[in-house]
A and B are shown apart, each in its own frame.
Chain A
């Protein structure tokens, strides 16, 4: 029995593996893009804050 058959109890039967795999990878990539954007946002603001704080000393 291969993986596609093992996962065929999921919705979409014999194609379940392929459909959930492709949707899963897409989901991870999209979430990753948002996470990257918000980490970058915080990092840049902190860096600039520190830079301005140093300049004021």
Chain B
């Protein structure tokens, strides 16, 4: 295991691995997306309280979930980069930020569009919504801090520290519906042994969560392989890859 990690830390092996892995994430994403959307939008019955509007859940919950998971991955990768000076971890952290920010925006927008018919308003300054908005700002701060330095090493150092400090927001988002009185409903995926929704509604949600994980995977890999090329542009293997020579 440790040997494998060390090998993966070499930019060339990392590049080759990302290239190889892309289809392994792209096709499961497409398959799960089609299955989840068909099940969620066509097969699942309407909710007895929320009518058809609950179908927004199938994109709202996965994107909200991913907004937090990607932040966690970003902060962890940033931390690994800080402690062990693994450049490839810095790459993972850097390419994750715009993807995570997009998931956060997705969660906020679909939540607003869902809130309008259910709560009668697009937005309330409620604990869950506000903490998720702060997550978006954390992502944006990370991205701009990362772009503010010319030296990728300094940029990674500064932005990783920001990401790690921002980790404190994740439990706040997660527990906000328990700690405070909020308009936002409790978690659906909290306890799968005693699900609070019917299996016909739950399965498409689980499938969509996996679809979004593969989506993050494929996007992160696509961006990471290019980021490696830029960082390692002075090494011989990058020249060989770009100009199409055999290395």
Point out residues on A near B: beta carbons under 8 Å.
4, 12-16, 18-19, 21-23, 25-26, 29-30, 32-34, 36-38, 40-41, 44-45, 48-49, 51-52
Please indicate the chain A residues that have their CB under 8 angstroms from the CB of B113 in the complex: 18, 21-22, 25
16 A-B contacts, Cβ less than 8 Å apart?
A: A4-B117, A12-B52, A12-B53, A15-B51, A16-B52, A18-B114, A19-B53, A30-B215, A33-B99, A33-B102, A34-B222, A36-B98, A37-B223, A48-B230, A51-B233, A52-B242
Contact A15 B52, CB 8 Å, known A22-B113, A25-B110, A34-B219: yes
| Closest-CB distance, B199 to chain A (whole angstroms) | 21
Interface size on B, residues (CB 8 A): 32
Q: Do A37 and B239 touch (CB < 8 A)?
A: no
Per-residue contact bits, chain B 224-241, to A (CB 8 Å; 1 contact, 0 not): 011001100100001100
**Chain B contact residues: over half helix, strand or loop, or mixed?**
helix
Q: Do B109 and A25 touch (CB < 8 A)?
A: yes
Contact A22 B233, CB 8 Å, known A15-B52, A52-B239: no
Not counting A19-B55, A19-B56, a sample of 5 additional A-B residue pairs whose C-beta atoms are within 8 angstroms of each other reads A12-B53, A15-B51, A34-B219, A40-B226, A48-B229
Q: Do B243 and A52 touch (CB < 8 A)?
A: yes
